[in-house]
Amino acid sequence: MILAEEKAPTRTELEKAFQEYSVAEFFKKNRQMLGYSGKLRSLTTIVHEFVTNSLDSCEDAKITPDLRVEIAELPQDHFKVVVQDNGTGIPKKNVGQALGKLLAGTKFHHRAQKRGQQGIGAAYATLFSQITTGKPTHVKTSLGDGKIYEADVSIDIKTNAAKIENEKEYSGKFQGTRIEAEYAEVGYNRSEYGVYEYLRRTALANPHAQITLLEPDKQLTVFPRATNVVPKKAKAVKPHPLGLTTSDLMDMAAVTTGRKISSFLVSDFTRISADKVKEIQAMLPGIDLERSPRALQWAEAEEIVKAFSKIKWIAPETDTLIPIGEDQLEKSLKNLLKPEKWRVIERKPKVFRGGIPFSVEVAIAYGGNSGSLVGETRKGELLRFANRVPLLFDAGNCAITEAFKSIDLNRYELKEFEALPVTILVNLVSVYVPYTGAGKLAISAEEEIVAEIRFALMEAARDVSVYLRSLAKAEEQERRRMIFFKYITEIAQALEDISGRKASALMPKLKSIAEKRTEYLESQEASEAEDELEAIEDEAEKEIEAEA
């Protein structure tokens, strides 16, 4: 049978086929881009989005965070998620933007270190509840002066606008925000990708926060805070000229308050002075920098950006970076892991892509509750963080994993990493974290970032390797001592038979000789170990200097 040839669509039909769609419609069909792929990952992503907002809210108000997360299993494989904090609450006029409109928020245009970036997270958690159960998200928030506001929030997918229903405002005692939503297509367990593990890691990187988790089986876990010191609020930073594209320059020129291109460059960028403007003008005599920035043409902006790359600049400001900090990390390790040995390294800030500041901190903990618990034993774990936020997924595609795999673990007595009670924590701190995707699951392997993480890991691993060597030496020394003492009784008895002196009188003298002999051998070995360690450290330092 011959099929009739399909008729080509007409121009009018093609024009009708073109339709606009909202960002909400786009992400409804592409949920995996935001981390919503698989039941377990989806639930962890939901909790992550609300917990991140809660921590930010508390820190902005200098409040030590007290968070409570509840997961309850409902009929028909549905789950209820409740996240409550003790922050300042959401202003009534902003509830719709915060929970019911994608790409709306306070973080995207604010050039400061922050946990979130796009303004998608909490709103998409609202949308995910809506598209999997058909139900809105309920919010309860304090408004100040003893006022409380409650409402149901959903999203108009066609317009990406918030729909707010069942509003009520009343007086009462409540501080913070409580989010309650119901979800399908999610799941719960205590695996390394679940909510429990996410909150454990969040507590490690945020020692000023107390986090309580109520699981579906009604088991209550409290991750207590280790310190009452709230991190400093990150300062906003102006863009550095070396981290700029032509498009960036054009966008900034269109909204600047500067009246001239020259004053725009000085006022809107860091490290550009009047002298630098003169240097740029000398390099570009054909461009009048005294004109209005709004008159800047694309070709001219390209020339200015090229000129930026030829000028020697002072490095970007680095006091805008707020790491966890060595003292706070040590308190956190002792509080939650109770290790036998630990080391925390905080590297000096560097830049990537020419002008974006970042820093790396690494902690290694051995023994105690270090490592992930598998059955009755503990195995090594690598914990990845970006601005204190745990990165549980896509580990194989992350700069931290790449840096870790590049290290010779055998040099640091960590060859059997998978079988050791070891926790390694790596936190990347930056005004802009180069995530590999919108889901913010892994860090792009920028060359400068991978190198800094690697150096920090090597430095931190040295102390632990010394400790592990000392444990091995101690075991060997004890074994040797036991061999000496094992035969003392037999030797004393033999000497009694030969000399006639009582074995009981000979025993203390023989023990004294044995102890002196083993102490001598131990001191020799300690000296050799120290020499060996110095040689390893010298080699590592040379390696770091060569690679830098």
Is residue 107 over pLDDT 50? no
Same domain for 260 and 215: no
Residue 244: other Cβ atoms inside 10 A: 20
Domain identity same for 261 and 152: no
Answer yes or no: do 60 and 129 share one domain.
yes
28 or 240: whose pLDDT is higher? 240
With a cut of 60, say whether residue 3 has pLDDT above it: no
Q: Among 277, 310, 343, which residue terminates a domain?
A: 310
Question: Given a cut of 60, is residue 532 above it in pLDDT?
Answer: no
- The answer to whether residue 236 sits within a structural domain is no
Quick one: 219 and 247 in the same domain?
no
Record the tokens describing residue 429, joined without a space: 């701190």
Residue 475 in domain: no
Note the pLDDT tens digit of each residue in 196-205: 999 999 999 9
Predicted local distance difference test score (pLDDT) of residue 143: 95
String of DSSP letters for 77-120: GEEEEEEE--S----GGGHHHHHH-TT-SSSTT--S--S--SS-
Domain CATH for 253: 1.10.8.50
Q: Residue 491 corresponds to which tokens in the numbers above?
A: 């030797």
Per-residue model confidence as pLDDT tens digits over 139-161: 999 999 999 999 999 998 888 88
Lowest mean pLDDT: which of 11-25, 136-150, 530-544? 530-544
CA distance 512 to 324: 51
Q: Rounded to the nearest 10 degrees, how much is the dihedral formed by the CA atoms of 76, 27, 149, 49?
A: 80
The answer to the question of residue 477 being in a domain is no
Which CATH number belongs to the domain containing residue 392 in this structure? 3.30.230.10
Give per-residue pLDDT as tens, 336-383.
999 998 889 999 888 887 678 899 999 999 899 999 988 888 999 999
Q: Given this model, what pLDDT does residue 543 score?
A: 52
- Provide the number of structural domains found in the chain: 4
Average pLDDT, the chain: 84
The reported pLDDT for the residue numbered 406 is 92
In a domain, 34, yes or no: yes
Query: Do 205 and 69 lie in a common domain?
Result: yes
Do residues 56 and 115 touch, judged by C-beta distance below 8 A?
yes
Domain of 80 in residue numbering reads as 23-223
Domain's final residue, options 310, 344, 368: 310
289 and 281 Cβ atoms separated by less than 8 Å: yes
Indicate if 253 and 299 belong to the same structural domain.
yes
Taking a C-beta distance cutoff of 8 angstroms, is the pair 323, 335 a contact?
A: no
Amino acid 117: pLDDT = 47
> What average pLDDT score do residues 425-432 get?
93
CATH of the domain at 106: 3.30.565.10
Please state, in angstroms and rounded to a whole number, the distance separating the CA atoms of residues 368 and 380. Answer: 12
Last residue of a domain, one of 174, 193, 223: 223
Residue 540 clears pLDDT 70, i.e. is over it: no
Region 432-441: what's the mean pLDDT?
84
Residues 87-94: what's their mean pLDDT? 94
Single-letter residue type at 311: I
Do 82 and 160 lie in a common domain?
Answer: yes
Residue 194 lies in a domain: yes
Neighbour-count burial for 251-274, b at 16+ CB within 10 Å, e otherwise: ebbeebebebbbbbbeebbbbbee
The answer as to whether 210 is a domain residue is: yes
- Verify that 338 and 398 share a domain, yes or no: yes
pLDDT category of residue 109 using cuts at 50, 70 and 90? very low
| Under 8 Å between Cβ of 122 and 53 | yes
pLDDT tier, 512 (very low <50, low <70, confident <90, very high otherwise): confident
d(CA 140, CA 129): 17
Domain membership flag for residue 231 = no
| Residue 388 and residue 499 in one domain | no
Asked if the structure places residue 285 within a domain, the reply is: yes
Average of per-residue pLDDT across 14-18: 57
- Same domain, residue pair 245 and 219: no
Residues 70 and 147 in one domain: yes
Judgement on whether residues 211 and 268 belong to the same structural domain of the protein: no
Please say if the pLDDT value at position 48 is more than 70: yes
- Say which residue, 156 or 290, is predicted with more confidence: 290
Higher pLDDT, residue 143 or 107: 143
459 vs 178, higher pLDDT: 178
Q: Can you point out the beta strands (E) in 172-316?
A: 177-183, 210-214, 220-223
SS3 264: helix
> What value does the mean pLDDT take over residues 35-40?
86
Give the pLDDT score at 108. Answer: 40
